[in-house]
Amino acid sequence: MKYYILFGPPGAGKGTQAGAMAERYNLCHISTGELLRSEIAAGTELGKQAKTLIDAGNLVPDEVVESMIEAKFRSTKGVDGFLLDGFPRTIAQAKVLDEMLEKHGESVTACLSIMIPDAMVHERISHRAAIEGRADDARPEIVENRIRTYHAKTEPIIRYYKDAEKYCEIDGTGSITEVHDRIFHLMDRF
Ligand code: AMP
Protein backbone atom coordinates (compact mmCIF):
# COMPACT_ATOMS: atom_id res chain seq x y z
CA MET A 1 0.00 0.00 0.00
CA LYS A 2 1.06 3.54 -0.73
CA TYR A 3 0.61 6.25 1.86
CA TYR A 4 1.03 9.73 0.43
CA ILE A 5 0.83 12.94 2.38
CA LEU A 6 -0.41 15.90 0.42
CA PHE A 7 1.18 18.88 2.08
CA GLY A 8 1.15 22.64 1.59
CA PRO A 9 -0.11 25.93 3.01
CA PRO A 10 -3.82 26.80 2.95
CA GLY A 11 -4.81 27.59 -0.63
CA ALA A 12 -1.89 25.72 -2.22
CA GLY A 13 -4.33 23.64 -4.28
CA LYS A 14 -4.27 20.37 -2.33
CA GLY A 15 -8.02 19.81 -2.65
CA THR A 16 -7.97 20.77 -6.33
CA GLN A 17 -5.21 18.29 -7.17
CA ALA A 18 -6.31 15.43 -4.92
CA GLY A 19 -9.17 14.12 -7.09
CA ALA A 20 -7.01 13.53 -10.16
CA MET A 21 -4.24 11.96 -8.08
CA ALA A 22 -6.65 9.60 -6.32
CA GLU A 23 -8.18 8.56 -9.63
CA ARG A 24 -4.94 7.97 -11.49
CA TYR A 25 -3.29 5.89 -8.75
CA ASN A 26 -6.42 4.27 -7.23
CA LEU A 27 -6.00 5.99 -3.89
CA CYS A 28 -8.55 6.79 -1.21
CA HIS A 29 -8.47 10.56 -0.71
CA ILE A 30 -8.93 11.50 2.93
CA SER A 31 -9.32 15.20 3.69
CA THR A 32 -9.57 15.78 7.44
CA GLY A 33 -10.94 19.29 6.77
CA GLU A 34 -13.74 17.83 4.63
CA LEU A 35 -14.49 15.10 7.17
CA LEU A 36 -14.77 17.75 9.87
CA ARG A 37 -16.99 19.95 7.69
CA SER A 38 -19.37 17.01 7.11
CA GLU A 39 -19.53 16.40 10.88
CA ILE A 40 -20.48 20.07 11.27
CA ALA A 41 -23.10 19.84 8.51
CA ALA A 42 -24.57 16.71 10.13
CA GLY A 43 -24.75 18.51 13.48
CA THR A 44 -22.91 15.80 15.43
CA GLU A 45 -21.42 16.40 18.88
CA LEU A 46 -17.94 16.20 17.36
CA GLY A 47 -19.00 18.69 14.68
CA LYS A 48 -20.25 21.15 17.27
CA GLN A 49 -16.98 21.01 19.19
CA ALA A 50 -14.89 21.30 16.02
CA LYS A 51 -16.87 24.22 14.60
CA THR A 52 -15.76 26.78 17.18
CA LEU A 53 -12.11 25.89 16.62
CA ILE A 54 -12.33 25.75 12.83
CA ASP A 55 -14.26 29.02 12.57
CA ALA A 56 -11.52 30.72 14.59
CA GLY A 57 -8.81 29.28 12.33
CA ASN A 58 -7.40 27.02 15.05
CA LEU A 59 -6.58 23.33 14.84
CA VAL A 60 -8.86 20.70 16.36
CA PRO A 61 -7.21 18.38 18.94
CA ASP A 62 -4.78 15.80 17.52
CA GLU A 63 -6.78 12.84 18.93
CA VAL A 64 -9.91 13.87 17.01
CA VAL A 65 -8.29 13.75 13.58
CA GLU A 66 -6.13 10.74 14.44
CA SER A 67 -9.17 8.60 15.24
CA MET A 68 -10.90 9.79 12.04
CA ILE A 69 -7.90 8.70 10.00
CA GLU A 70 -7.64 5.35 11.75
CA ALA A 71 -11.34 4.65 11.15
CA LYS A 72 -10.95 5.45 7.44
CA PHE A 73 -7.90 3.19 7.13
CA ARG A 74 -9.89 0.38 8.73
CA SER A 75 -13.06 0.78 6.67
CA THR A 76 -11.59 1.37 3.20
CA LYS A 77 -11.15 -1.61 0.89
CA GLY A 78 -10.05 -2.14 -2.70
CA VAL A 79 -7.57 0.73 -3.06
CA ASP A 80 -3.84 0.76 -3.74
CA GLY A 81 -3.21 3.36 -1.10
CA PHE A 82 -4.24 6.54 0.64
CA LEU A 83 -3.83 10.22 -0.09
CA LEU A 84 -3.84 12.17 3.15
CA ASP A 85 -4.88 15.76 2.63
CA GLY A 86 -4.61 18.11 5.61
CA PHE A 87 -3.16 15.40 7.85
CA PRO A 88 -0.70 15.32 9.58
CA ARG A 89 -0.73 18.97 10.60
CA THR A 90 1.48 18.76 13.69
CA ILE A 91 4.65 16.83 14.51
CA ALA A 92 2.64 14.86 17.10
CA GLN A 93 0.20 13.76 14.37
CA ALA A 94 3.10 12.78 12.09
CA LYS A 95 4.54 10.58 14.83
CA VAL A 96 1.18 8.95 15.55
CA LEU A 97 0.73 8.27 11.83
CA ASP A 98 4.12 6.52 11.71
CA GLU A 99 3.12 4.38 14.70
CA MET A 100 -0.27 3.53 13.15
CA LEU A 101 1.39 2.38 9.93
CA GLU A 102 4.25 0.56 11.64
CA LYS A 103 1.76 -1.68 13.45
CA HIS A 104 0.75 -3.02 10.03
CA GLY A 105 4.26 -3.19 8.61
CA GLU A 106 3.58 -0.12 6.47
CA SER A 107 5.17 3.34 6.22
CA VAL A 108 4.68 6.74 4.62
CA THR A 109 5.61 6.55 0.91
CA ALA A 110 6.24 10.27 0.39
CA CYS A 111 5.26 13.71 1.55
CA LEU A 112 4.26 15.61 -1.59
CA SER A 113 4.48 19.27 -0.78
CA ILE A 114 2.80 21.84 -3.01
CA MET A 115 4.48 25.18 -2.43
CA ILE A 116 3.26 28.66 -3.28
CA PRO A 117 4.47 32.05 -2.02
CA ASP A 118 2.64 33.63 0.96
CA ALA A 119 1.20 36.41 -1.23
CA MET A 120 -0.46 33.79 -3.41
CA VAL A 121 -1.97 32.11 -0.33
CA HIS A 122 -4.06 35.25 0.32
CA GLU A 123 -5.03 35.62 -3.33
CA ARG A 124 -6.13 31.97 -3.68
CA ILE A 125 -8.11 31.95 -0.43
CA SER A 126 -10.08 35.07 -1.24
CA HIS A 127 -10.85 33.60 -4.65
CA ARG A 128 -12.03 30.34 -3.01
CA ALA A 129 -14.11 32.23 -0.44
CA ALA A 130 -16.22 33.64 -3.26
CA ILE A 131 -16.77 30.16 -4.75
CA GLU A 132 -17.05 27.69 -1.86
CA GLY A 133 -18.47 29.90 0.88
CA ARG A 134 -16.31 28.42 3.66
CA ALA A 135 -16.73 30.45 6.87
CA ASP A 136 -13.00 30.13 7.67
CA ASP A 137 -12.07 31.65 4.28
CA ALA A 138 -14.30 34.69 4.57
CA ARG A 139 -12.66 36.80 7.28
CA PRO A 140 -9.13 38.14 6.77
CA GLU A 141 -8.21 37.83 10.47
CA ILE A 142 -9.22 34.13 10.45
CA VAL A 143 -7.20 33.49 7.29
CA GLU A 144 -4.26 35.26 8.99
CA ASN A 145 -4.60 32.98 12.00
CA ARG A 146 -4.64 29.87 9.78
CA ILE A 147 -1.48 31.04 8.03
CA ARG A 148 0.18 31.74 11.41
CA THR A 149 -0.90 28.30 12.64
CA TYR A 150 0.51 26.75 9.47
CA HIS A 151 3.91 28.41 9.99
CA ALA A 152 4.06 27.64 13.72
CA LYS A 153 2.65 24.11 13.94
CA THR A 154 2.49 22.57 10.48
CA GLU A 155 5.61 23.83 8.69
CA PRO A 156 7.97 22.02 11.12
CA ILE A 157 6.67 18.80 9.55
CA ILE A 158 8.82 19.60 6.50
CA ARG A 159 11.97 18.95 8.56
CA TYR A 160 10.44 15.73 9.91
CA TYR A 161 9.91 14.26 6.42
CA LYS A 162 13.18 15.69 5.09
CA ASP A 163 15.01 13.82 7.85
CA ALA A 164 13.11 10.67 6.88
CA GLU A 165 14.10 11.33 3.21
CA LYS A 166 10.45 11.35 2.19
CA TYR A 167 9.97 15.01 1.38
CA CYS A 168 9.29 16.03 -2.26
CA GLU A 169 8.52 19.63 -3.16
CA ILE A 170 6.35 20.65 -6.10
CA ASP A 171 6.06 24.15 -7.51
CA GLY A 172 2.37 24.99 -6.99
CA THR A 173 2.34 28.11 -9.17
CA GLY A 174 0.88 28.09 -12.67
CA SER A 175 -2.23 26.44 -14.05
CA ILE A 176 -4.00 23.43 -12.49
CA THR A 177 -2.83 21.26 -15.40
CA GLU A 178 0.78 22.41 -15.07
CA VAL A 179 0.78 21.55 -11.37
CA HIS A 180 -0.82 18.16 -11.82
CA ASP A 181 1.64 17.27 -14.60
CA ARG A 182 4.48 18.02 -12.15
CA ILE A 183 2.81 15.89 -9.47
CA PHE A 184 2.17 12.92 -11.81
CA HIS A 185 5.74 13.05 -13.07
CA LEU A 186 6.92 12.69 -9.49
CA MET A 187 4.38 10.05 -8.41
CA ASP A 188 5.14 7.83 -11.40
CA ARG A 189 8.48 7.11 -9.66
CA PHE A 190 6.88 5.43 -6.62
P1 AMP B 1 -8.63 22.29 5.60
O2 AMP B 1 -9.87 21.96 4.84
O3 AMP B 1 -7.58 21.21 5.47
O4 AMP B 1 -8.10 23.66 5.33
O5 AMP B 1 -9.03 22.27 7.15
C6 AMP B 1 -9.97 23.19 7.69
C7 AMP B 1 -9.83 23.26 9.20
O8 AMP B 1 -10.08 21.97 9.78
C9 AMP B 1 -8.43 23.62 9.70
O10 AMP B 1 -8.21 25.02 9.73
C11 AMP B 1 -8.47 23.03 11.10
O12 AMP B 1 -9.23 23.82 11.99
C13 AMP B 1 -9.23 21.73 10.90
N14 AMP B 1 -8.32 20.60 10.57
C15 AMP B 1 -8.24 19.94 9.39
N16 AMP B 1 -7.29 18.98 9.44
C17 AMP B 1 -6.76 19.04 10.69
C18 AMP B 1 -5.71 18.34 11.36
N19 AMP B 1 -5.02 17.37 10.74
N20 AMP B 1 -5.43 18.68 12.63
C21 AMP B 1 -6.12 19.64 13.28
N22 AMP B 1 -7.08 20.37 12.70
C23 AMP B 1 -7.42 20.08 11.42
Least confident of 32-36, 99-103, 127-131, 175-179: 127-131
In a domain, residue 71? The reply is yes
The predicted model gives 169-184 an average pLDDT of 96
Q: Which pLDDT score is estimated for 134?
A: 87
In a domain, 156, yes or no: yes
Kindly report, residue by residue over 118-162, the tens digit of the pLDDT.
889 989 998 999 899 888 999 999 999 999 999 999 999 999 999
Q: Whose CA is nearest to atom 14 of ligand 1?
A: 33
DSSP characters over the chain: -EEEEEE-STTSSHHHHHHHHHHHHTEEEEEHHHHHHHHHHHT-HHHHHHHHHHHTTPPPPHHHHHHHHHHHHHH--S-SEEEEES---SHHHHHHHHHHHHTTT----EEEEEE--HHHHHHHHHHHHHHH--HHHH-HHHHHHHHHHIIIIITTHHHHHHHTT-EEEEE--S-HHHHHHHHHHHHTT-
On whether residue 134 sits in a domain, the answer given is yes
- Tell me how far the alpha carbon of residue 58 lies from the centroid of ligand 1, in angstroms: 8
**pLDDT at position 118:** 86
Boundaries of domain holding 47 = 2-184
Domain of residue 169, CATH code: 3.40.50.300
Domain membership of residue 38 (yes or no) is yes
Task: Say if residue 94's pLDDT is above 90.
Answer: yes
Instruction: State whether the beta carbon of 69 lies less than 6 angstroms from ligand 1.
Output: no
Cβ-in-10-Å burial (0-12, 13-18, 19+) of 36 comes to buried
What pTM does this model have?
Answer: 0.95
Q: State the pLDDT at residue 42.
A: 98
pLDDT reported for residue 6: 97
Please indicate whether residue 149, judged by its CB atom, sits closer than 6 Å to ligand 1: no
Identify the CA nearest to 87 among candidates 107, 109, 104, 62: 62
Ligand 1 contact, 114 CB (< 6 A):
no
Query: 2-27 b/e with 16+ CB inside 10 Å = b?
Result: bbbbbbbbbbbbbbbbbeebbeebeb
Å from CA of 19 to ligand 1 middle: 18
Number of domains the chain contains: 1
- Note the pLDDT of residue 30: 97
Which of 6, 29, 36 has most ligand 1 atoms within 8 Å of its beta carbon, as the pocket-test mutant?
A: 36
Residue 189 falls within a domain, yes or no? no
- State the Cα–Cα distance between residues 10 and 24, nearest whole angstrom: 24
Higher per-residue confidence, 165 vs 138? 165
Q: How confident is the model at residue 97 (pLDDT cuts 50, 70, 90)?
A: very high
> How many angstroms is it from 184 CA to the middle of ligand 1?
25
- Does some domain include residue 190? no
From the CA of 34, how far away is ligand 1's center (Å)? 8
146 neighbors 10 (Cβ within 8 angstroms) = yes
In a domain, 75, yes or no: yes
Angstrom distance (rounded) from CA 157 to CA 164: 11
Q: What is the pLDDT of residues 133-144, one digit of tens each?
A: 888 999 999 999
CB-based contacts of 86, cutoff 8 Å, min separation 6? 6, 14, 31, 32, 33
Span 29-87, pLDDT tens digits: 999 999 999 999 999 999 999 999 999 999 999 999 999 999 999 999 999 999 999 99
CB of 146 shorter than 6 A to ligand 1: yes
| Distance in angstroms (rounded) separating the CA atoms of residues 115 and 82 | 21
Residue 102 lies in a domain: yes
For the Cβ of 32 lying below 6 angstroms from any atom of ligand 1, the answer is yes
